[in-house]
Structure 1
């Protein structure tokens, strides 16, 4: 990506050395945030990769300054950084009975291996906990905290937090570790259609939308088994052989699963639809309508985007206001996060909705602009405002 300086003359500046990113050093997320910084401030921020940080945390200590801001981001597509985060979570994963990845997994990760999402989440939380301490000692602010990350990366814990707050989610089924237990749980709950998700997974990786009709089973999945490993695929696969489905569920079980009822989503132009609302710092919302020919609406899986006005026209302003309220209530349950993506399914009756997930790094949605701003530019504005307020107070 070619980064260009489009900053308007007279725009409020922000000290370059005060903004540090712990995240990817290349890739779409890096490029989008770097461009937002150029547009807003005229410079690209300093970036420290996860692998270098975990190998030598003192690097971050040297980069931060009092009154500064530390932005935490995911490693994105950097397999070396992902492997480093996985290594940081290995002990906790093993202690909790989660399957861990083999040493030297970088090549497999590059080929689409899902690794061990729970192990990755544990490593990420451990790393952010360390980064929090370093930022606090340096007198710098931070974009997220480990307590929010630990919950948001855990679909079961997130659903429980939503439910405790009185927010509706798809009905959850008991934790299962294999196909026979899943079949029993579905029978006991009188539930014939479920989503089987990696409990700590992201981006719909290795997800299974499963339906049972008597003795017949049907599945749509983003997972495939290759040499005994689970690989994520962008081509959603259809499975109808019960044995194939059982082998897949049994293989996913050791990675940790979350099972929920498959709710009937509203459709737009005959395609399944749901909504992501990026909530920024309790002040600004960036909604995007996602549609798909299959149950997974993630854009990288072939989903299409529509203006949110299409959904509002379909369900009405009052129903949409309730969706927005649910998103803000959900975001408020993660108060240590400056931005969070909330996924919501409007049901096919056009009146009810269900909260699906909280995405702690859900602020990257390509080309999403609302009111002339992107989620990144809105965050930079808030960072600059807080810095200016702090500078005035210090003066």
Structure 2
């Protein structure tokens, strides 16, 4: 049997995601993944240095001996640079294709970012990549023409840490060093009221506060660009489970819906004027809702996740009365601007002035409004489906059931199987088909959680594509947890 591909995970070591991956690999008899902390990258440490430290740390922690050594040998075999691979008959322009059950890793070019790397020393560090012996220094080796296991690179969510949030906001500042916006879907549009690098670096930890979402996203795209460039230099034969460029696109809901629609996937109708223009603030949004007779919409923060910055909004066309359900809370002050934060429970608003302030703030940071598709349900409950797709195949699924329009599980929604929620076998098959088509719109991604809505007409709509949507507890597929299934299919 072919050994499992070495796995390098960019993450927050010790969080639920990285722990779940390591547990899955242990259960399957695979060597542990090499964990590269986002914190070190955002402190400016070169990727090669972080790889060295991670190797040494695992061995010092009593790694699994021979399998671990074999893993580093495989990594070393794949550490040649583009020129060496070309001289050996290989190519530096693409990643090798790996067929797997239900899908494949797609060949795609290594993109050279328009700007510079976050770390100028990465090319020099490429001369010191992988250990000749445990704890040793890194060196460069030519890759054999027919090697078996190129390293697999995996990006995990950077959320859950204020220190990382602050560092990403600082990296997104207009005066941040080595700014590379090549992966930002709307990078040519400046952020409104940006914070300087110094001001962003001095932000205080105020739980739940949404400090500067659009600048955070710009910083995140810059980090993705840096990782894509450095990994291409250090491990040119490596494969990404999800390509950083497509993760950037998935993280911006505006771009996600564009890509899905262009690929023929049904999505909720976006709110647009008769000339195709999109709303830019509260007033233009209401005007377009009335002119397009779209009186119920979901407004979403473009880079939000876990229902952050989501509003279920409705407008009475006859009276102008409005109401909204949202995760956004507001603290108002007399002498300074209001503060917007993620509330632990859903908020309801009917006051126009309060709603105008919230919605204007969302549009300053990039918002997207779409038709409110009523979710199916019964007995006062409605639901949508989180359908995981791995390597082209739909697998784990959970119905998120709520008495409110927003169904995220952390907002006290209940979980059910799709069958328990009332979907027939035919409907479940259509959910799977819709989810698979949605991931196929991102050909260089192998894992995503797809949020699928069942419309009243029987049509399935994709509401969101989450590159980190696999953190599903107590949900199995063919006897495997989500991470176990991913490790088996992708390694």
Q: TM-score, normalised by structure 1?
A: 0.86
CA distance, structure 2, for counterparts of residue 229 and residue 30 of structure 1? 32
2:387–2:450 CA contact under 8 A, matched in 1: yes
What's the counterpart of residue 392 of structure 1?
none
- Per-residue deviation, 1:154: 1.5
Counterpart residue number, 1:205: 308
Q: 1:57 Cα deviation (Å)? A: 2.4
Instruction: Report the alpha carbon displacement of residue 222 of structure 1 after superposing the two structures with TM.
Output: 0.4
Structure 1: distance between partners of 2:394 and 2:286:
43
Q: Which residue of 1 aligns with 2:330?
A: 225
Task: Return the index of the structure with the highest Cα Rg.
Answer: 2
**Which structure 1 segments of 5+ residues have no match?**
1-10, 385-395
Corresponding position of 2:7 = 19
Which of these residues, 455, 458, 464, is aligned with residue 347 of structure 1?
Answer: 455
Superposition map of 1:150-299 within 5 A: 150-174=248-272, 175-213=278-316, 214-226=319-331, 228-299=338-409
Residue 478 of structure 2 corresponds to 371
Residue 107 of structure 1: how far off its partner (Å): 3.3
Picking from 147, 151, 163, the partner of 1:68 is 151
- The one of 24, 27, 35 aligned to 1:36: 24
Partner of 1:98: 191
Alignment length, in residue pairs? 368
Distance 1:44 1:140 in 2: 17
Larger deviation: 40-49 or 228-237?
A: 40-49
Distance 1:270 1:376, change over 3 A: same
Distance 1:268 1:115, change over 3 A: farther
- Whether the 8 Å CA contact 2:300–2:369 is kept in 1: the answer is yes
**Structure 2 gap ranges (5+):** 55-74, 79-149, 175-180, 273-277, 333-337
**The structure with more helix, counted as a fraction of residues:** 1
Q: Which residue of 2 aligns with 1:356?
A: 463
Distance 2:285 2:187 in 1: 23
1:389 match = none
Runs of 4+ with >6 A deviation: none
> Which of 261-270 and 113-122 deviates more?
113-122
Measure, in 2, the Cα distance between the counterparts of 1:41 and 1:284.
24
TM-aligned CA distance change 1:329 to 1:363, over 3 Å: same
Which of 163, 168, 181 is the aligned partner of 1:85?
Answer: 168
Give how far 1:44 is off.
4.2
Distance verdict in 2 for CA 1:367–1:112, change over 3 Å: same
From the superposition, tell whether residues 106 and 47 of structure 1 become closer, same or farther in structure 2 (CA, over 3 Å): farther
Structure 2 counterpart of 1:56, from 45, 48, 58:
45
1:79–1:106 CA contact under 8 A, matched in 2? no
